[in-house]
Chains A and B, each alone.
Chain A
Amino acid sequence: MKAIKKYFTDNLGIIIALVAMILFLYIFPTTHNTFLTQKNIFNVLRQSAPNMMLACGMTMVIILGGIDLSVGSIIAMSGVLGAAAVVWWGLPEICGILIAILSGLIFGLLNGMVIALTQIPPFIVTLASMNIAKGIAYVYSGGKPIRCMTDAWKFLGAGYVGPIPTPVITMLLVFVIGVLVLNRTQMGRHIYAVGGNDTAAKFSGISVAKVKFFVYSFSGLMAGLAGITIASRLYSGTCTSGDGAEMDAIAAVVVGGTSMSGGSGKLGGTLIGVLIIGILNNGLNLMGVNSDWQYIIKGAVILLAVYVDFLRSTKKSK
Chain B
Amino acid sequence: MSEYLLEMKKITKSFPGVKALTDVDFQLKAGEVHALLGENGAGKSTLIKVLGGIYIAEEGEIFIEGQPVEIQNVADARANGISIIHQELVLVPHMTVAENIFLGRELMGPFGIDSGKMRKESQKMLDRFNLGIDAGELVGNLSIAQQQMVEIVKAISFNCKILVMDEPTSSISDREVEALFDIMRGLAKQGVGIVYISHKMSELDEVCDRVTVLRDGYYVGTCVVKETPRDELIHMMVGRELSSYYVRDHVDNTKVIFRCDHIDDGKSSKKRVKDVSFEVKQGEIVGFAGLVGAGRSETMQCIFGLTPGSAGEVWLDGQKLNIKNAVDAMNAGIAMVPENRKVEGLYHVQSVNFNSTIEVLKEFIRHLHVDSNKERAITQEFVDKMKTKTPSLEQTVTNLSGGNQQKVMIGRWLATKPRILILDEPTRGVDVGAKAEIYDIMNELTKQGVSIIMISSELPEIINMSDRVYVMYDGRITGCINWQDLSQEAIMKLATEETAGE
Contact = CB atoms under 8 A, between A and B. Distances in A.
Contacts, number: 68
B325 interface: yes
Interface string B306-348: 1000000000000000000111011000001010000111111
B330 A197 contact: no
Given A192-B354, A197-B348, A203 B368 contact: no
A203 B334 CA distance: 12
Contacts of B128: none
Interface string A179-223: 010011110010011001101101111110000000000000000
B326 A204 contact: yes
Contacts of B305: 205
Contacts of B202: none
Interface of A: 180, 183-186, 189, 192-193, 196-197, 199-200, 202-207, 259, 263-264, 318
A204 B365 contact: no
Contact of B358 (A183, A193, A263): A193
B350 interface: yes
Contact of A185 (B326, B354, B359, B365): B365
A318 B16 contact: yes
Interface in B358-380: 358-359, 361-362, 365, 368-370
Closest 7 CB pairs of A and B: A205-B326, A196-B347, A205-B327, A263-B349, A184-B368, A186-B361, A264-B349
Nearest to B15: A318
A157 B350 CA distance: 39
B431 to A, nearest CB: 22
Given A186-B361, A202-B326, A205-B329, A263 B370 contact: no
A197 B346 contact: yes
Contact of A263 (B330, B350, B359): B350
A51 B348 CA distance: 30
A184 B347 contact: no
Given A192-B347, A196-B350, A183 B370 contact: yes
Contacts of A197: 343, 345-348
Nearest to A194: B347
Contacts of B362: 186
B412 to A, nearest CB: 8
A192 B369 CA distance: 18
Nearest to A265: B349
B16 A200 contact: no
A64 to B, nearest CB: 13
Contacts of A189: 354, 358, 361, 365
Interface string B190-230: 00000000000000000000000000000000000000000
Nearest to A188: B365
B359 A186 contact: no
Nearest to B357: A189
A203 B306 contact: yes
A211 to B, nearest CB: 12
A217 B121 CA distance: 55
A210 B99 CA distance: 42
Contacts of B359: 204-205
Given A196-B350, A200-B343, 5 more contacts: A184-B370, A193-B354, A202-B326, A203-B306, A205-B326
Given A184-B368, A184-B369, A189-B358, A203 B338 contact: yes
B366 to A, nearest CB: 9
Contact of B350 (A184, A203, A206, A264): A264
A41 B327 CA distance: 49
15 contacts: A184-B368, A185-B365, A192-B354, A196-B347, A196-B349, A200-B344, A200-B345, A200-B346, A203-B306, A203-B326, A203-B336, A204-B326, A204-B358, A263-B347, A264-B350
B350 A199 contact: no
Contacts of A186: 361-362, 365
Nearest to B328: A205
Nearest to A261: B349
B345 A259 contact: no
A207 B361 CA distance: 14
Given A192-B354, A193-B358, A205-B326, A185 B368 contact: yes
Contacts of B346: 197, 200
B303 to A, nearest CB: 13
A264 B351 CA distance: 11
Given A180-B368, A264-B349, A199 B306 contact: no
A263 B348 contact: yes
A205 B330 CA distance: 8
Contacts of A183: 370
Give the most central of B327, B344, B359: most A CB within 10 Å: B344
Given A189-B354, A199-B343, A200-B343, A184 B349 contact: no
Nearest to B369: A184
Contacts of B325: 205, 207
Interface string B126-168: 0000000000000000000000000000000000000000000
Contacts of A184: 365, 368-370
A202 B343 CA distance: 11
Nearest to B331: A205
Nearest to B362: A186
Contacts of B350: 192-193, 196, 263-264
A189 B412 CA distance: 15
Contacts of A180: 368
Contact of A193 (B329, B343, B347): B347
Contact of A196 (B16, B326, B348, B370): B348
Contacts of A259: 349
Give the most central of A185, A203, A207: most B CB within 10 Å: A203
Contacts of A185: 365, 368
A270 to B, nearest CB: 17
Nearest to B340: A199
A203 B348 contact: no
Interface string B288-307: 00000000000000000110
B21 to A, nearest CB: 18
Contacts of B343: 197, 199-200
A254 to B, nearest CB: 16
A176 to B, nearest CB: 11
Contacts of B361: 186, 189
Nearest to A189: B361
